[in-house]
Chain A
Amino acid sequence: MEKIDMKFIDSVLEHHDFDRTNIIAIMQDVQEKYRYLPQDALTYIAKKVGMSESKLYGVATFYGNFSLDTKGKYVMKVCRGTACHVRKSSNVLQALYEATGTSEKKATSDDGLFSIEIVSCLGACGLSPVVMVNDTVHAAMTPDKARELVAQLREGA
C-alpha cells in the first residue's frame, strides 16, 4: 500500500481548521494529491476532526467523485450526458475501453495508466461528445480520435 505523507494530511486539515463541516473539501484535497482516498488517510482524518470512521466512510462513498481504489495516471471522464448520448458517446466509450484494456467492470488498466470513468454531464454539451482527461476537455470525440488520444498519452507517459 502507498505510504501516506501525514505531514501533508496535517497541512490540509489545518488549512480547513480541523472543521468537521469541511470534510468534503478535506477529502477533495487529499484525493487531488493521491488520486484516491487511501484508507490510512481516512482513519487519520476521522480521528483528527472528531468523527467516527463509519460516518466518514458514509460520506466518502456517497459522492461519485471520491474513490477508495487507486486510479490510473490519466483519469478519462467520458461524458454520457444527454447531448453526448444523442451524438453517440457510447461508441467513444467502447473505443476507450478497448484501447486501454478496461471494461465496465474494470475501471483501471493493468499498467496503471488509465482509469475510465463515466460521468453524467460535463456541461460542455456544445462540444459533444466530450472526454475530459484530468482537467483537459477533449471535444467532438469519435472512436478514432479516442484511440489516437490513448496512443498519444501512452507515448507521453
Chain B
Amino acid sequence: MRRKLNNLEEFRALKAKCIQAHEAEKHKVLVCCGTGCMAGGNLALYQELQKEMAAHGAAYEVSLTDSCGGECVGIKRSGCHGFCEMGPLVRIEPEGWLYTKCKVEDAKEIVEKSILGGEFIERLGYHLNGELYKRQEDIPFYKKQTRRVLEHCGHIDAESIEEYLAIGGYEALMKCLFELTGEQIIKEVSDSGLRGRGGAGFPAGRKWEQVAAHKEPVKYIVCNGDEGDPGAFMDRSCMEGDPHKVLEGMIIAGVATGSTEGYIYVRAEYPLAVSRLKIAIQQCEELGILGDNILGSGKSFHMHINKGAGAFVCGEGSAMTASIQGNRGMPRTKPPRTVDQGLFEKPTCLNNVETFANVPDIIKKGAAWFRSVGTEGSPGTKAFALTGNVVNTGLIEVPMGTTLREVVYGIGGGIKNGKKFKAVQIGGPSGGCLTEEHLDLPMDFDSLKEVGAIIGSGGLVVIDEDSCMVNMAQFFMNFICEESCGKCTPCREGTTRMNEILSRITQGDGRMSDLDELRSLGKMIQVSSLCGLGKTAPNPVLSTLDNFEEEYIEHIRDKRCRCGVCKALSSYVITDKCIGCTKCARNCPVNAITGTVRHKHVIDTNVCIKCGTCKANCPVNAIKEG
C-alpha cells in the first residue's frame, strides 16, 4: 500500500525518490509482456531471468517500490515494443540492445553474457540482409518511426506508477492542477491542433471547449477504448504499455472541463488492458492522484472502468454511453450531441485512447512542440497497426503526412514472401483501399478523405497479389451485416442486400447490373444511415469498386477469380512441373486425381471439391489455381 500524497511538495519528494531508484538500476532488462510476446511465452522468460539472477547471487529488483536501495539490475515486464513479428522481445538498457525471438532457455545466456558480462549475444540479435543490428533504435523498423504516444511502450514497467513518475509522469497534471486555469489548458490543446484519433478527426480542443462551456455541475469524461475495427490494435498497446499516460490525459481533460468523473470503455477482448488499467487506477487512488481533492488542489476526479461485451457499434459515441448506462448499445439521433447530452444525459467529453495519450506531452512541451511534426491540418503523429502480408507486422508511429510507401516499404520491409503489392486497406470497415498510385500520397485526415479512404483508428492491412478484392469487400460487408445494430433501415437492410449481391458475385452468379446496384445502394446507405458507422459501412465496397472494377467484372463476366480465393470460381490444374510423385492423388479426399508414377497427374474438375489439399501437399509447387 502506498502512502497518500497531500500536496505538491510530497509529490516532488516521491518523484525524486523514484528517479533515484530508477537511476540506481545500472542495467535494465525489459521483457516485453504485451499480448503478442506473452503468447510467445515471455512471462516464463521473465521468471526464469529472475531465477538465473538469484542463482548467480546478483542483486536485482523487479519494482521500484521494493527497491534494493543500491546499484542493481532491474528486471521488468514492459508493454508492447511494437515489433510483434520478431517477438518475443527483450530489451537491455543502457545499451539499448534488442533481442528477438527469445525463448525461456535463453535466460541463462542473457544473464551470464549480457547482464553480468556486458557482451552482446549475436544469435539473438536482429539480422537484416546479412547485417546485424544491435541497438533497437538502429533497426530500420524503429529508425524510421517517430514515437511520441508510444514513447514509453516497451521502455518502462507498465504496472508501476513509480516508474512512470521517474520518467516525468504526472508532471503535466501537476502543471494543470497548480499553474494553469481550465481555459489555459484548453487553449494549449486547441493551439496544438490535436484532432481526435478515433476516426473522424474532430478537433479535441473544440470538443473540450464545448463541454467546459456548460455550467452543469455534473459532466463526464469518457475514454473510448472499444477498438473494434478488425486489424487495429494501437489503443490496446497504448493501454497495456503505458496505462498511466491515458489516465493522465483523462484527468487533465476533467480538470480543464470541470468534470469529476471519468469512464474508460474497453473491449472485453482485451483482458490484459483491463487488468493493467485497473492496477494503474488503484495506484493513483493510493497516492491520491485520483480521488477527492487531488494533492490538496481542491480538484477531484474519479475513474471507472467498463468492459465491453462484444458489440462493434459501441465504438460510436451515443451507443457507447448507452452501453455504459447498462442498455443495448444503439446509437441515437443527433442532436443533441454527446458534448451537450451524453452519458446520463449530461455534457460529455468523449475521446479516443490515443487522443488522451497525446495530451500530457502537449501540456508539458507545448503546442508548438506538438506542431513540429505532422502536416498543417493534421499535426502530430499517428499510431498505426501494420498487418497483413507485410514483412514486419507490428505497431508503428509516424508523423502525420508520412507516405504509404515509407510505411509499407521503409518500416514494413515490403511484401511478405516476395509477392507483389496490391493494396492497403486502411480504416477498417469504415475505410477504403489505397493502391499503387497512392503510394506516394502523404497520409493525413484530409488527404485520405479526398481519395475515398479514411485514417480511421489506424488499422493498416497490407494486401498482396494473392488476395481477391471482391472477397475482401464481401468480408467487410459480412462483418457490418453481423455488427449492424439493426436500429435504422438503411444500414440493417441495405448492407444485407449489398452482402447478398457480393455473395452472388463471388459464387459466380453475378450480373453486370449488380455493379450499378452496389453503387446506388452504397450511396443511399451513406446519406441515410443514422450513425457514423452506418454512413461509412459501404466504403470498403465502393472503394474496391473504384479501384478494382476489372476484378469485379472478371468475376461476373468470365466467372473467374484471378487469385483463386473465391472457391466457386476457381479450379485446380496440374502444370507440367509435375514430377508424378502421386502425393496429391494419395491425399485427395475425393479421389479426383489420377495418373501413374513419374507421369503428370490430372484433376477431374467434375469431382474436385476445391479443398486445396493437393496444392498444399505438392512438393514442387506444380498445382495452380485460378
Contact = CB atoms under 8 A, between A and B. Distances in A.
B566 to A, nearest CB: 12
A123 B226 CA distance: 11
Contacts of B84: 124, 126-127
Interface string A110-134: 0000000001111111111000100
A65 B388 contact: no
Interface in B224-279: 227-233, 236, 267-271
A119 B482 CA distance: 11
Given A24-B306, A63-B329, A86 B463 contact: yes
Contacts of A120: 228, 230, 312, 479, 482-483
Interface string B475-489: 110010011010000
A125 B428 CA distance: 13
Interface stretch (B32-40, B183-191, B442-450): B32-40
Contact of B387 (A20, A28, A83, A135): A83
B432 interface: no
A24 B309 contact: yes
A123 B306 CA distance: 18
B325 A125 contact: no
B307 interface: yes
Interface stretch (B347-355, B389-397, B508-516): B389-397
Contacts of B312: 120
B393 A66 contact: no
Interface stretch (A5-13, A101-109, A136-144, A147-155): A136-144
Contact of A65 (B38, B268, B324, B485): B268
Contacts of A126: 36, 84-85, 87, 233, 385, 387, 393-395
Nearest to B428: A82
B67 interface: no
A63, A66, A77, A83: most-surrounded residue (chain B CB, <10 A): A83
A25 interface: yes
A68 to B, nearest CB: 13
B626 interface: no
Contacts of B324: 21
Nearest to B83: A126
Interface string B270-311: 110000000000000000000000000000000000111111
B309, B311, B325, B327: most-surrounded residue (chain A CB, <10 A): B309
B36 A139 contact: yes
A59 interface: yes
A81 B229 CA distance: 8
Contacts of B482: 120
A70 B39 CA distance: 27
Contacts of A62: 311, 328-330, 485
Given A24-B323, A62-B329, A82 B39 contact: no
A155 to B, nearest CB: 20
Given A82-B428, A123-B236, A124-B36, A59 B328 contact: yes
Nearest to B393: A126
B310 A64 contact: yes
A20 B324 CA distance: 11
A78 interface: no
Nearest to A49: B326
Contacts of B389: 86-87
A75 to B, nearest CB: 12
B381 interface: no
B232 A123 contact: yes
Contact of B326 (A23, A77, A139): A23
Contacts of B40: 139
A28 B269 contact: no
Nearest to A91: B612
Nearest to B467: A86
A121 B228 contact: yes
A91, A121, A139: most-surrounded residue (chain B CB, <10 A): A121
Interface string A6-35: 000000000000001111110110000000
B264 to A, nearest CB: 13
Contacts of A27: 309
Interface residues of A, number: 40
B192 interface: no
A58 interface: yes
B494 interface: no
Given A22-B326, A23-B326, A62-B311, A124 B39 contact: yes
B232 A121 contact: yes
Nearest to A56: B326
A131 to B, nearest CB: 10
A48 interface: no
A136 B388 contact: no
A58, A125, A136: most-surrounded residue (chain B CB, <10 A): A125
Contacts of A87: 388-389
Nearest to A55: B327
Contact of B388 (A22, A86, A121, A132): A86
B231 A125 contact: yes
Contact of B307 (A28, A66, A91, A119): A28
Given A23-B326, A82-B425, A120-B483, A63 B310 contact: yes
A125 B228 contact: no
B39 A136 contact: yes
Given A21-B324, A121-B232, A125-B387, 12 more contacts: A24-B309, A63-B311, A82-B230, A82-B425, A82-B461, A83-B387, A91-B612, A123-B267, A126-B84, A127-B87, A137-B36, A138-B39
26 contacts: A24-B307, A25-B306, A62-B311, A62-B485, A63-B311, A63-B329, A65-B268, A65-B309, A82-B231, A82-B428, A83-B388, A83-B461, A85-B475, A120-B228, A120-B230, A120-B482, A121-B229, A121-B233, A123-B35, A124-B39, A125-B233, A125-B387, A125-B461, A126-B233, A126-B385, A126-B394
Interface of B: 35-36, 38-40, 84-85, 87, 227-233, 236, 267-271, 306-312, 323-330, 385, 387-389, 393-395, 425, 428, 459, 461, 463-464, 467, 475-476, 479, 482-483, 485, 612
Give the 10 A-B CB pairs with smallest separation, nearest first.
A126-B84, A64-B310, A81-B230, A63-B309, A83-B387, A65-B310, A121-B230, A82-B231, A125-B387, A123-B233
